[in-house]
Structure 1
């Protein structure tokens, strides 16, 4: 009876993962591209879990199915990394280099050393390598979840998006830890995954019922309409409020939020930025943030570099560094030193940020 209950809840966890991935896939064509990373993250995670569940309760499971389940693990880490990066970073994501090499390598490895004929090699080397790769991606993904940990450390309130991303990260990390540190616990991991997936579903519907569109931002649609001169002039006047009110200091600022704040149709605002300024919304906002950072670098400040980035509206130190250098051609420290050399000083009490 206990085994039957474990099988039921473990299998249900994997099944819920499939359902949730389908849900995001259906909505992703109308929403953010990053949702596709979440779709494949949940899908690969579910494939790995369902393999473990059925193998534990049915040892005669097809070796081909076992190989597919184990191979799916190699993409869990990359999809976790890509999803968190897409939510926390403002740069274009080179997702191909994180997916195709592993995908091709897995296919070649599977054909060269099929599980049915090389079970010892898989158990001794391949599976361990996959778990190490999964763990590495969990480690390098920390920088994209670090703003949430920073808020927790400072006892700041978390947004719905913070809770969502933290749940995704910790859930995947916990499942990886359970798989890689304990033998013969596939059914336990399956049961735990059920709790994790169920929790995500609850979060999803709670946020959705509260009209939270944080992780479902709609794509800009221009509806093939050109902006007339009057509309352009009105937008030019209104976007000045973005700088005056320093809306860009909000690290979670969205196109929708900005449009509502300055009372502009969000589609028209996006169209104006893209067609008239040749900038995306993220680039437009980041330019304000960099100007704020340059101002702080020129005046008295005791900020660390990380604190400066947060002060200017960035989600992480790495994003701040990358964006600053992309816009100015210098790192923040190089910019500050150049300013000091040009003017001889910043302020008698100022300090170089390190």
Structure 2
């Protein structure tokens, strides 16, 4: 809003500009706290957020008193002597890239063929992408126009609103629906590490996914854990339900056979990899690889 007033109303109150500029120091901390609370809900304690917000708020107040924008407007320029402008850029940049690092697993899932990204992973990536574009727009405005930042913010806001709206229509709840399902139950860090270590062994070394009758209960029993615990781990940590997780390994096995086996038909390969029908094989393969088994075979 500040950018719009600055562009179209030259007589905008300096106090309004002062508040708008200093408030920009809160963009980075709030972004980081949101991403951290979304990826690690228990890591942001009741008062821990104050560590990031309170110093910035005090700085905003002191800056407004000692360096009012009306008399010290040049301090906000990204030029020699504009130390407030450079401080804002540095602080915003550090928090932005720390937030990206915090969300790295959600981002990587978007490119994984084994782990399926959840709605929350898509939402986090959308938020980070939007904030990065706004950061880029504001810090390159000397090559364009200051209003570009505001336009980028509006564009990002409307795209995010549309994504949220259509996802809500599809799923009935927010992007945090998978988390809400288990909000009163928590897996211990020890259980998470054991499942992270032992679960892939069952699929990669023992290839239990080749059993077409494999059930969640069977896998939980082999891991000596509860059925509900395994389901929660897959949903919260892997961003997948049991069926999608198993099919990911079945598709991977099918890909290896399609490359090396010329004796079996495509249907035979699907059966050998644990799919009960040709329809389920084609559906799972296309979901994970964005092409049919026949198309994949031709592309080899």
- Give how far 1:286 is off: 3.6
Q: Secondary structure at the match of 2:70?
A: coil
- Give how far 1:100 is off: 0.5
RMSD of aligned residue pairs (Cα, Å): 3.0
Matched residues in 1 for 2:30 and 2:91: separation?
12
TM-score (norm 1): 0.50
Tell me the equivalent position of 1:115: 69
- Give how far 1:87 is off: 0.7
Matched residues in 1 for 2:172 and 2:120: separation?
9
Alignment of 1:53-132 (within 5 A): 53-93=4-44, 94-123=48-77, 124-132=82-90
- Give how far 1:65 is off: 0.8
Tell me the equivalent position of 1:288: 191
- Contact kept, 8 Å, 2:137 with 2:152, in 1: the verdict is no
Compared CA separation, residues 140 and 59, structure 1 to 2 (3 A)? same
- Contact kept, 8 Å, 1:64 with 1:115, in 2: the verdict is yes
- Contact kept, 8 Å, 1:74 with 1:102, in 2: the verdict is yes
Matched residues in 1 for 2:176 and 2:116: separation?
21
- Give how far 1:157 is off: 4.4
Matched residues in 1 for 2:56 and 2:2: separation?
20
TM-score (norm 2): 0.59
- Give how far 1:206 is off: 1.0
Deviations 1:14-49 (CA, angstroms, capped at 9, x unpaired): xxxxxxxxxxxxxxxxxxxxxxxxxxxxxxxxxxxx
- Give how far 1:212 is off: 4.3
Matched residues in 2 for 1:126 and 1:202: separation?
35
Tell me the equivalent position of 1:254: 179
Q: Secondary structure at the match of 1:153?
A: coil
Report how many aligned residue pairs link the two structures: 200
Tell me the equivalent position of 2:246: none
Moved more, 114-123 or 82-91: 114-123
Deviations 1:108-146 (CA, angstroms, capped at 9, x unpaired): 111111111212223311022112101110010112221
- Contact kept, 8 Å, 2:120 with 2:175, in 1: the verdict is yes
Q: Secondary structure at the match of 2:167?
A: helix
Tell me the equivalent position of 1:14: none
Alignment of 1:147-186 (within 5 A): 147-155=105-113, 157-183=116-142, 185-186=145-146
- Contact kept, 8 Å, 1:175 with 1:189, in 2: the verdict is yes
- Which of 1 and 2 has higher RCO (CA within 8 Å, sep 6+)? 1
Matched residues in 2 for 1:293 and 1:161: separation?
20
- Give how far 1:55 is off: 0.3
Residue 184 of structure 2 is aligned to residue 191 of structure 1: no
Matched residues in 1 for 2:123 and 2:197: separation?
33
Q: Secondary structure at the match of 2:110?
A: helix
Q: Secondary structure at the match of 2:69?
A: coil
Tell me the equivalent position of 1:35: none
In structure 1, the gaps of 5 or more residues are: 1-49, 218-252, 259-265, 271-280, 303-311, 317-354
Tell me the equivalent position of 1:210: 170
- Contact kept, 8 Å, 2:168 with 2:174, in 1: the verdict is no
Q: Secondary structure at the match of 2:159?
A: helix
Compared CA separation, residues 98 and 212, structure 1 to 2 (3 A)? farther
Q: Secondary structure at the match of 2:92?
A: helix
Compared CA separation, residues 254 and 287, structure 1 to 2 (3 A)? farther
Q: Secondary structure at the match of 1:213?
A: coil
- Contact kept, 8 Å, 1:73 with 1:131, in 2: the verdict is no
Larger Cα Rg: Structure 1 or Structure 2?
A: 2
